[in-house]
Structure formats: C-alpha cells, structure tokens
C-alpha cells in the first residue's frame, strides 16, 4: 500500500498530460477513478484545480501551487520505503538535476563509480539550465542538484561549493594558445562560440564584456559543451568552459586562463532542499559526490 494518497499521483499526471484520459492511459487506471479523486481533492482544498476546456484540462494557479506539495509528499514517501527496505545496501532511487556542463561528462562518470560499489542503486538525471536545477531541488522533483551558480539561492542548502572559473578553449595551434592569461579583448578579436544567456557561462562573459566595454557577439551558439568544443577544434573560434566540463581534454584542444576577475566568480554547487532531512541513502550519496568533487579540478 502506498504511503501517500494515490490522488496526489493522479493529480500530477493530469497536470503533466493535460487530460484525464491521457493520465488514465499512463497510469493504467480508469478515467472515472481519476476524475473522482480530482473532485475529492478540489473538495478538500476548497478550490478548483483544473478548468475544463475543449482540448483538455487547464491547471489553475491553485493547481500549480499544490503541485509542489504533491511532489514533495510523494518524494518523501518514496524515500521512506527505500529507507526501510534498502537502507543497508544503498539500493535507492536517486534523482539528480544537473546542468549540461556537469551532466554530460562529470556526473555520468561519478554515477558509474558509485554504481560499481552499489549495483542496486538507480539514477534519474534531469538536465536543465542552472536556475531550473535549483528550482527542481526547491520543488522536490530532484533529491540533489549539481549546478553552477553566481549567487546564493534561497530555498536550498548548499552541501558543497567550489570556485569554478571559466577558461578560454581553442584548438591546438591557435594564435592565442601560448598567451596566458588572456584578456577578454584578446579573445573577442576572434570568432566566439558561446552558450545561451540561460547559462552561467554566457552571463559571466556578458557581464565581463559590459564591465570592460567589450562587445560580445557569437558566431555559433549552443548549450551543448561537446558541440562548442567540436566547433572550435575546426576553426579559429574560441569558447569559454570550466575545467569540470572538460575532465578529459582532447589532445587537439587547449585551455587558457583568463585575466579578468569576473571569470572566477562562478561556483560549482551541490544543493538539496532547505529544511529537508535527507534519508540516509541520499545523504550517503551526497557525501560521495562531495568527496569525489573535492578530489577533482573544477
């Protein structure tokens, strides 16, 4: 028997799919059962959660507010079950929100290492832009967040923080490859391959440009670090990445330190929801992540 009210899962699935029929198909539950449970929730809450429209159900503001509670309730119930049945073996289900910079190489490598020691562990990795990682932790849709941040965010507890400065990345043999440290003006004289404004990388570059009167214009824009590196490997373009994003630097690519202090203002953080007492399994996993990151250059 689930420790949480099944109506919470019914509600969240309708919220995600947009219709009761779609939710019923996903959950293998009769539409009438879902409809009754939604009506019961609305009665208990004293408010409307979904408005009927021709194309489905439209969530109200009250539904979006209630969704945070529903996700946290299911999350806590799931972890209690994991704690009771699988505590000693760390055979829990871990949901981690991460940015592209940490999620495409570093995190899979760490998860592989953890899984080798705990073969029954299960992982769900969500890739978001930096602010959305923190929001996923606040909302309870992720146990932990691994993200880059330019500030101290509310609603989360920082389990680990380390400066993660940006470096200029270019092909081997690039005219700037032997000049260190580089200024932004020197780099900007060449084509720039940049991530989007949703990333801390781009926001740092733009802030530094504004501070020093340097115009920033990308000839190639993409949030995938692999794509950025491939672009600069075959041109005179330069991109900006942190060391943690390039744990295994290609032989034909070089990274060069940057002179401006702004490029060192970013931190790599491991976050959990503020005020939450982590289950033992998640706490042990978080400790593993922190220990592993402390041994790596970021």
In the predicted model, what is the mean pLDDT of the chain? 89
Whether the ω angle into residue 181 lies within 30 degrees of 0, i.e. cis, is yes
Same domain, 212 and 282: no
User: Is position 78 within any domain?
Assistant: no
Average pLDDT over residues 39-47: 92
Full domain range(s) for residue 138: 87-155+271-294
Render the burial of 3-12: b for 16+ CB within 10 Å, e for the rest: ebbebbbbbb
d(CA 53, CA 248): 52
User: Is position 82 within any domain?
Assistant: no
Same domain, 198 and 243: yes
DSSP symbol at 254:
E
List, for residues 126-181, the tens digit of each pLDDT value: 999 999 999 999 988 999 999 999 888 889 999 999 999 999 999 999 999 999 89
User: Is position 104 within any domain?
Assistant: yes
We report the CATH number of the domain holding residue 41 as: 1.10.10.10
In this prediction, residue 120 has a pLDDT band, given cuts at 50, 70 and 90, of confident
Structure tokens at 257: 């330190």
Same domain, 191 and 246: yes
Same domain, 133 and 280: yes
Same domain, 170 and 203: yes
Res. 85: pLDDT tops 70: no
Give 243-246 contacts, CB < 8 A, sequence gap 24+. 243/164, 243/167, 243/297, 243/298, 244/101, 244/102, 244/106, 244/164, 244/268, 244/296, 244/297, 244/298, 245/101, 245/102, 245/104, 245/105, 245/106, 246/105, 246/169
Same domain, 147 and 277: yes
CA neighbor of 104 nearest in space, from 229, 213, 207: 229
In this prediction, residue 295 has a pLDDT band, given cuts at 50, 70 and 90, of confident
Res. 3: pLDDT tops 70: no
Res. 75: pLDDT tops 90: no
Side by side, which strands form the sheet with 218-221?
A: 218-221, 192-194, 238-242, 166-171, 253-256
Domain count, the chain: 3
């Amino acid at each position: 028997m689930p420790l949480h009210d099944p109506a919470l899962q019914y509600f969240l699935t309708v919220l995600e799919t947009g219709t009761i029929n779609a939710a019923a198909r996903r959950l293998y539950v009769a539409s009438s059962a879902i409809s009754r449970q939604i009506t019961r929730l609305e009665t208990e809450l004293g408010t409307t959660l979904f408005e009927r429209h021709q194309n489905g159900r439209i969530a109200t503001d009250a539904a979006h507010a209630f969704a945070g509670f529903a996700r946290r309730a299911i999350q806590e119930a799931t972890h209690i079950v994991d704690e009771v049945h699988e505590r000693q073996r760390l055979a829990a289900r871990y949901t981690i929100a991460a940015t592209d910079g940490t999620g495409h190489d570093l995190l899979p490598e760490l998860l592989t290492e953890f899984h080798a020691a705990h073969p029954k562990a299960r992982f769900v990795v969500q890739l978001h832009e930096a602010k959305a990682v923190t929001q996923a932790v606040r909302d309870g849709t992720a146990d932990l967040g691994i993200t880059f941040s330019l500030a101290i965010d509310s609603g989360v507890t920082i389990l680990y923080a380390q400066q993660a400065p940006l470096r200029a990345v270019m092909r081997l043999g690039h005219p700037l490859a032997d000049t260190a440290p580089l200024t932004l003006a020197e780099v900007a004289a060449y084509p720039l391959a940049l991530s989007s404004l949703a990333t801390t990388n781009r926001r740092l570059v733009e802030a530094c440009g504004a501070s020093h009167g340097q115009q920033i214009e990308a000839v190639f824009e993409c949030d995938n670090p692999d794509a950025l590196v491939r672009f600069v490997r075959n041109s005179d373009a330069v991109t900006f990445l942190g060391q943690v994003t390039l744990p295994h630097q290609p032989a034909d690519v070089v990274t060069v330190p940057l002179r401006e202090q702004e490029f060192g203002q970013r931190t790599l953080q491991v976050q959990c929801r503020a005020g939450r007492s982590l289950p033992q399994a998640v706490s042990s996993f978080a400790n593993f992540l922190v220990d592993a990151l402390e041994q790596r250059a970021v």
